[in-house]
A and B are shown apart, each in its own frame.
Chain A
Amino acid sequence: MTGPEPIDRDDLHAYVDGRLALEAQLRVEGRLAQHPEDAAAVHAYRLQNSELRETFAPVLDEPLPPNLQAAIAAGTATRPKPAPSFRFGPARLSWAAASVMLLLAGGAGGWLLHGWSGTPGGNGGSFAEQALGAHRVFVSEVRHPVEVGAEQEAHLVAWLSKRLGTKLRAPELAAAGFELVGGRLLAEGARPAAQMMYEDAGGRRLTVYLRAIEGAEQTAFRFVEEAGVSAFYWIDEDYAYALVAPLEREPLLRIAHQIYRDLERQ
């Protein structure tokens, strides 16, 4: 008997760890349905990751023991400032820069929400948190949920495109039952970010949040849920996107795919 095409072992782990580019991720997802044993392994490995992080999370919040602080302080006090060395040349440097971006963009699960801060190693306001925050603030607005309404879609799109430095388009989400309400310009730190709001017949509001992100690698969709609001966020072609709505993971993922495909077509 010839079974369905098997899933590559490394792809399975990369899927678990959120390391696959979107196309590969979708391919694995498609095959998981035909490979229940692999699907069970994915479930188990994801559980391992979250249990590991949960179990050891308290260590991150412990105050640093004095001897560890001293180890750093002693070093800075006695070491002369070293001259920066660029002997390895540009190839080596760019490899290193790439791996920094990988680590910024990488990882699966909650605590890596702190990534995508735009500064290597920085833990500042994260992209997904910004998107969730902006969602909460503006979906509850009755009178002024958006700055520019959907009736002026062309103007809205031209304006946000200009400010974000790209050619935007408002994704078409009618198939999922959501109509464009409008959009607004926001500030994420000193950077411009755009939020587009949609609403369905039941009055549920969904927001798409995006901003430019320099030099980042494309990432898979990542999921986060916070107090009844879920988000998928990803990086594609120098832009970071977040889709936020009070929806379950699966329907939200379908909309995320739709937005992704819509943006691809541009």
Chain B
Amino acid sequence: MDETRRLIVDQIPHLRRYARALLGDPDAADDLVQDSLTRAMDRLHLWRPGTNMRAWLFSILHNQHVNAARRRARRPDRVGLEPAHDGLHAAPPEQDAGPGLRDLGRALDQLSEDQRQAVLLVGLEGLAYTEAAEVLDVPLGTVMSRLNRGRQRLRELMGADAAPAIRRVK
């Protein structure tokens, strides 16, 4: 049990980082991580020692995130199909992450939810493509096309410094 707990604790900073990048808002991100950890502890009997703890925890977090978004979407006082993401990356100026976070955050905001997840799981968290497919519960090919579109879009959004030299005149 202690070993299992240690494996979970090791992943908490990574879950927080992913949630922070996914949602933008630090408090919402930690709420999501807390819900996910509670869920994981409830379902610990389903985890098999020796299997991939990281993929298991990220799957749980992904499902919690999707469920929360669905709940919010059903609430009558809210409109929009992607309520989980409210452009919060740009919000708190007192956050001490500097201009980098605002630019990158704003660009991330403009990706579709699917693209953002793929780009962050692979590019930020370093998950293998097969792991990302497991976490998102989609085929590998879907991960690759979301990753491709997300990276292309991000490249357009981040502008000239991310795409130097080669720019075709239409």
A44 is contacted by which of B38, B41, B120, B163 (Cβ under 8 Å)? B163
In the complex, whether B16 has a CB less than 8 A from a CB of chain A is yes
Apart from A59-B13, A68-B37, A100-B52, 4 more pairs, CB < 8 Å: A19-B129, A60-B14, A85-B45, A99-B52
Given A43-B164, A79-B44, A99-B55, answer yes or no on A56-B124 (Cβ-Cβ < 8 Å): yes
Taking Cβ atoms with an 8 Å cutoff, the residues of B that contact A are 1, 5, 7-10, 12-14, 16-17, 20-21, 30, 33-34, 37-38, 40-42, 44-45, 48-55, 97, 100-101, 104-105, 119-120, 122-124, 126-131, 134, 144, 147-148, 151-152, 154-155, 158, 161-166
Dominant secondary structure of chain B at its interface with chain A: helix
In the complex, whether A164 has a CB less than 8 A from a CB of chain B is no
User: Which A residue's beta carbon lies closest to that of B56?
Assistant: A96
A188: shortest Cβ distance to chain B, in Å? 21
B128 is contacted by which of A51, A55, A103 (Cβ under 8 Å)? A103
A194: shortest Cβ distance to chain B, in Å? 28
Please, how many angstroms separate the alpha-carbon atoms of A86 and B126 in the complex? 28
A99: shortest Cβ distance to chain B, in Å? 5
Given A40-B166, A59-B17, answer yes or no on A71-B123 (Cβ-Cβ < 8 Å): no
> Can you list 22 A-B pairs with a CB-CB distance of less than 8 A?
A9-B144, A13-B144, A36-B166, A45-B151, A48-B119, A48-B162, A49-B123, A52-B123, A54-B100, A55-B104, A56-B20, A56-B21, A71-B37, A72-B12, A75-B38, A75-B44, A79-B41, A79-B45, A85-B45, A96-B48, A100-B50, A106-B128
B166 is contacted by which of A37, A49, A123 (Cβ under 8 Å)? A37
User: Which A residue's beta carbon lies closest to that of B36?
Assistant: A71
A209: shortest Cβ distance to chain B, in Å? 23
Q: Is the CB of A48 within 8 A of B154?
A: yes
Taking Cβ atoms with an 8 Å cutoff, the residues of A that contact B are 9-10, 13-14, 17, 19, 36-37, 40-41, 43-45, 47-49, 51-62, 64-65, 67-68, 71-72, 74-76, 79, 81-82, 84-86, 88, 93, 96-97, 99-100, 102-103, 106-109, 111-112, 121, 123
User: Which A residue's beta carbon lies closest to that of B124?
Assistant: A52
Please, how many angstroms separate the alpha-carbon atoms of A49 and B53 in the complex? 23
Note all chain B residues with C-beta closer than 8 A to A102.
128, 130-131
